Amino acid sequence: MKVLVPVKRVIDYNVKVRVKSDGSGVDLNNVKMSMNPFDEIAVEEAIRLKEAGKVEEVIAVSIGVKQAQETLRTALAMGADRAILVVAADDVHQDIEPLAVAKILKGVVEQEQPGLVLCGKQAIDNDMNATGQMLAALLGWSQATFASKVEIEGDKARVTREVDGGLQTIAVAMPAVVTVDLRLNEPRYASLPNIMKAKKKPLDEKTAEDYGVDVSPRLEIVGTTEPAARKAGVMVGSVDELVDKLKNEAGVI
Amino acid sequence: MIETPRHEEEHVSEIRSAVRAICARYSEDYWKDLDATHGYPTEFVAELTESGFLGCLIPEEYGGAGLGLPEACAILEEVSRAGGHPGAAHAQMYVMGSVLRHGTAEQKQKYLPKVASGELRLQSFGVTEPTTGTDTTSLKTTARREGDTYVVNGQKVWISRVQHSDLMVLLARTKPIEQRSRKTDGLSAFIVDLRGAEERGLTVKPIDAMINHHSCELFFDDFEIPAENLLGTEHEGFRVVMDGMNAERILIAAECVGDGRYFVDKAVAYANDRVVFGRPIGQNQGVSFPIAKAYAKVEAASLMVDRAAALFAAGKPCGAEANMAKMLAAEASWEAGDTCLQTHGGFGISREYHIERKLRETRLYQIAPISTNLILSYVSEHVLGMPRSF
């Protein structure tokens, strides 16, 4: 069985984001970009499934600007076998919306015929949490979202999901789309020998047109603003004053 | 974190990301506690070794990655940028260069694969003596040939990581100073097995110092080294040791660049967050300008490091660039550190903020591995053609 792992190039989680002056989005010039952390978890899980002998090949795919090939190299250095880059944008500020991504992924799935798509539950840039679900719908496949545990048993996947009330375990028929949550695993970092080996692994380049998908946006960004700045704290002189403030100003006790 | 656009190969930025991921597992408190207890970052060094990063410069045929100085610089820069102290481990990267360039086929086969795997820690260089620091050619420790062994007597000082090394490269006098044909004649290099050496005539005395650099005094008392451990040609050991110096300087310059970036990152974050009189202190140009200036100097030094590393990797002469990179980077990191501390006000000296520790650590590099005056002397004489001063 092959596993397909879609990975997205996003602003690094350590970067303090800055909103562009025209409010059209976040400034991505000269900021560090990395693999979406949830996608890293998906890559790790795919590699573990391969190491456990459950799958034969791990294919990473990324859709976006050409620079996303760096993200794919990371996946290859972690242990993916090969990669597919679908160039769908020229400008780093152009985000491809989930539906277009899901449609392209559907095309990739039809070509590659994986038994499982493992993807991050959402990307940390726009927090859409939509691509995996849309892909499952377009393919008519089972879906299991927010996975904290994935077990492949024959033609079924047993997936433990993190839901509001606790954990829910479901069995879904394969092929399936599984979106992964934070606590599924701790992704490995690439060792130096593996970084060098990754340079020699195959990376195919395609375009959105190859899959006949129109990536023009359907959503309009009306505005982007930074969260309100935290107000400076105050020093209280005594415990009584603190209690008084908690009771009468904050109203929390 | 301020990300400088760099024109480097994709795998170098990949290396940076992986090293950052390793460093993220070792918090700044990890380094602070080691500093307080004079501890050695055993776990960190083991992880950096096992993941292949310390074997960066070792050729692939000996189990290393076979990469060059630009990659090695990226690794050490990222460790210091993350708040760590790469000085604890950097020598494992480059001391082996003496064996690689001057060792016999047997020596290379015997040692290099194990250095690459980390099974052997070769991270000490025994050169400096109490009365001979920079004037290496006058060193006094002797190695007397007796049959199949050399017998060593003398004293060394500021020899780092001896207690965390299995092997050391030692430079000692094999010909009396009066008989030498030229200044550099009569010194020989040896591979010294440090395991059990303290029962064989070596006394190791750690030096209590400003930073946690694991530096020691060494006393040799009829200490025997098998003759087969001679590294390079007898009496020609000066070259064995010296031709690794450019690499060392460039790598240490890269560490300083990492320190500089660390300080600028911290200063900027604090200047933006800390509110006094109802506004962030970074709004005051008295606060922001020194940070901007420090940033510009770190960036300039970084360019010189890149140039020196590229020349070294291309096998071209790079003495001037290596020296200038080390000087500029060490000065830039110090200025950035001083600015960072000033930006933090009183909190800057609190150990909890790590700045004072990093500032102490980066200060060393205006002294070691070569002091700024010696660099200026080199540039005056060898680059600008002015008279020799000593």
Q: CA dihedral in degrees (B229, B233, B235, B237; nearest 10)?
A: -70
The alpha carbon of residue A232 is apart from the nearest alpha carbon of chain B, in Å, by: 7
Tell me which of 3.40.50.10860, 1.10.20.140, 1.10.260.40, 3.40.50.620 is the CATH number of domain A2-249.
3.40.50.620
Over range B354-361, report the average pLDDT.
Answer: 97
B170: β partners: B126, B190
Distance in Å, alpha carbon of A172 to nearest chain B alpha carbon? 34
Cβ neighbors of B202 (< 8 A, separation 6 or more) are B194, B218, B219, B220, B221, B223
Task: Quote the minimal CA–CA distance from A66 to chain B in Å.
Answer: 13
Instruction: Give the tokens for residue B145.
Output: 């040939």
Report the alpha-carbon distance of residue B169 to residue B86 in Å, rounded: 20
User: What is the C-alpha separation between A17 and A101, in angstroms, rounded?
Assistant: 24
Give CATH for domain B242-383.
1.20.140.10
Where do you find CATH 2.40.110.10 in chain B?
122-236
Whether the per-residue pLDDT at A137 is higher than 80: the answer is yes
Chain A: residue nearest B279 by CA? Answer: A232
Strand partners, B188: B172
Q: CATH fold of B6-117, please?
A: Butyryl-Coa Dehydrogenase, subunit A; domain 1 (1.10.540)
pLDDT band at B4 (very low <50, low <70, confident <90, very high): confident
**A28, A73, A192: best to mutate for the B interface, most B CBs within 10 A:** A192
Instruction: Over range B10-33, report the average pLDDT.
Output: 94
A79 residue type, one letter: G
Give the 3-state DSSP-derived string for chain B, with helices as H, strands as E and coil as C.
Answer: CCCCCCCCCHHHHHHHHHHHHHHCCCCHHHHHHHHHHCCCCHHHHHHHHHCCCCCCCCCHHHCCCCCCHHHHHHHHHHHHHCCCCHHHCHHHHHCHHHHHHHCCHHHHHHHHHHHHHCCCCEEEEECCCCCCCCCHHHCCCEEEEECCEEEEEEEEEEEECHHHCCEEEEEEECCCHHHCCCCCCCEEEEEEECCCHHHCCEEEEECCCCCCCCEEEEEEEEEEEEHHHEECCCCEHHHHHHCCHHHHHHHHHHHHHHHHHHHHHHHHHHHHHCEECCEEHHHCHHHHHHHHHHHHHHHHHHHHHHHHHHHHHCCCCCHHHHHHHHHHHHHHHHHHHHHHHHHHHHHHHCHHHCHHHHHHHHHHHHCCCCCHHHHHHHHHHHHCCCCCCC
User: CA of B223, closest CA in chain A: separation in Å?
Assistant: 39
> Considering the entire predicted model, what is its pTM?
0.91
Yes or no: say if B259 and B245 are a contact pair by the CB < 8 Å rule: no
How far is the CA of B355 from the CAs of A108, A210, B256, B273, B343, in angstroms? Answer: 50, 53, 14, 17, 11
Half-sphere exposure at residue A221, Cβ-oriented, CA atoms within 13 angstroms = 17
- B56 and A191 within 8 Å at the Cβ level: the answer is no
Instruction: List every span in chain B annotated with CATH 1.10.540.10.
Output: 6-117
The whole-number average pLDDT for the span A175-186 is 97
d(CA A117, CA A46): 9
Mutation site for A-interface testing, chosen from B9, B13, B14 by largest number of A Cβ within 10 Å: B14
Can you tell me the distance from the alpha carbon of A130 to that of A119, in angstroms, rounded to the nearest whole number? 11
Using CA atoms, how far apart are residues A114 and B163, in angstroms rounded to an integer?
53
Q: What's residue B10's pLDDT?
A: 85
Which among A106, A116, A146 has a CA at the least distance from the CA of A129? A146
Nearest C-alpha neighbor of B343 from the set B263, B287, B284, B274: B287
* Confidence band of B382 (pLDDT split at 50, 70, 90): very high
pLDDT at B344: 98
Chain B residues near any Cβ of chain A (below 8 Å): 1, 3-5, 10-11, 13-15, 17-18, 21-22, 50-53, 55-56, 65, 67, 269, 275, 278
Give the per-residue pLDDT at A30: 83
- Could you name the CATH architecture of B122-236? Beta Barrel (2.40)
Tens digit of each residue's pLDDT (9 = 90 or more) over B257-297: 999 999 999 999 999 999 999 999 999 999 999 999 999 99
Q: Residue B385: which region, alpha, beta or left (left: phi > 0; alpha: psi -120 to 50)?
A: left
Tens of pLDDT along A76-89?
999 999 999 999 99
**Confidence class for position B243, pLDDT limits 50, 70, 90:** confident
Which of A14-18, A163-167, A181-185, B241-245 has the largest mean confidence? A181-185
Q: Which chain B residues are Cβ-neighbours of A195 within 8 angstroms?
A: 11, 14-15, 18
What confidence tens digit (pLDDT) does each residue in A225-244 have?
988 877 777 888 999 999 99
For the annotated catalytic residues of B, the residue numbers are: 248
Residues of chain B with CATH 1.20.140.10: 242-383
Q: For residue A195, give the nearest of B1, B14, B278 by CB distance.
A: B14
Q: What is the ipTM of this complex?
A: 0.89
Residues of B in contact with A73 (CB under 8 A): 10-11, 14
Q: Taking CA atoms, what residue in B is nearest to A188? A: B21
The values of phi and psi at residue A199, to 5°, are -65, -25
Contact call for residues A156 and A198 (beta carbons, < 8 A): no
pLDDT digit string, tens, across residues B30-56: 999 999 999 999 999 999 999 999 999
- Is the model more confident about B68 or about B244? B68
Query: Nearest Cβ partner of B14 from A31, A190, A232?
Result: A190
